[in-house]
Amino acid sequence: LPPRAIAGDASYGSRRKDYLLSFVEPWFLDRKLAFGVDLYHRSTSFQSSLYDEVQTGARLSLERALWSDFVRGNVSYTIENVGITRVDPAASPELKAESGTRLVSKAGAGLVYDARRGGLVPTGGQRVELITEVAGGPFGGESDFYKLELRGSQYLPGFWEGQNWEIIGRMGSVQAYNGDHVTLFNRYFLGGPRTLRGFKYAHVSPADSLNEPFGGNTYWLGSVEYNIPIIDRLRFALFYDIGNVYSSSFSINPNSSRGERIYQDNVGAGFRINIPNLGPLRLDYGIPLNADSHQNKSGRFNFDVGFTRDF
Q: How confident is the model at residue 102 (pLDDT cuts 50, 70, 90)?
A: very high
| For range 22-26, the mean pLDDT | 95
Q: CA angle, 44 as apex, 38 and 50 as ends, to 5°?
A: 145
The residue type at 169: G
For residue 232, the model assigns a pLDDT of 87
Burial string for 133-144 (b: 16+ CB within 10 Å, else e) reads bbbbeebebebb
Q: Write down all domains in the chain, each with its CATH number in brackets.
A: 115-125+135-305 (2.40.160.50)
For residue 2, the model assigns a pLDDT of 57
User: Which strand (E) or helix (H) includes residue 93?
Assistant: helix 93-97
For residue 310, the model assigns a pLDDT of 65
User: Which strand (E) or helix (H) includes residue 94?
Assistant: helix 93-97
| For range 9-35, the mean pLDDT | 90
Tens of pLDDT, residue by residue over 108-145, are 999 999 999 988 888 899 999 999 999 999 999 999 99
Q: How confident is the model at residue 201 (pLDDT cuts 50, 70, 90)?
A: very high
Question: Among positive and negative, which fits the CA dihedral 22, 46, 78, 146?
Answer: negative
Q: Is the pLDDT of residue 15 over 90?
A: no
Tens of pLDDT, residue by residue over 54-89, are 999 999 999 999 988 899 999 999 999 999 999 999
**Interatomic CA distance for residues 217 and 248, integer angstroms:** 5
For residue 108, the model assigns a pLDDT of 99
For residue 137, the model assigns a pLDDT of 96
Q: Is the pLDDT of residue 174 over 90?
A: yes
Residue % of the chain over a pLDDT of 70: 98
* DSSP-based three-state secondary structure for 294: coil
Q: Is the pLDDT of residue 48 over 90?
A: no
Q: Is the pLDDT of residue 3 over 80?
A: no
**Interatomic CA distance for residues 274 and 116, integer angstroms:** 20
**Interatomic CA distance for residues 139 and 143, integer angstroms:** 10
| For range 220-247, the mean pLDDT | 96
CA–CA distances in Å: residue 304 to residues 257, 272, 279, 281, 301? 35, 10, 11, 6, 10
| For range 153-170, the mean pLDDT | 95
Of residues 11 and 34, the one with the higher pLDDT is 34
**Interatomic CA distance for residues 170 and 174, integer angstroms:** 14
129 Cβ contact list (under 8 Å, min separation 6) = 110, 111, 112, 113, 149, 150, 151, 152, 311
**Interatomic CA distance for residues 156 and 224, integer angstroms:** 11
Tens of pLDDT, residue by residue over 236-272, are 999 999 999 999 999 998 877 777 889 999 999 999 9
Per-chain mean pLDDT for the chain? 93
Q: Is the pLDDT of residue 1 over 60?
A: no
Residue % of the chain over a pLDDT of 90: 79
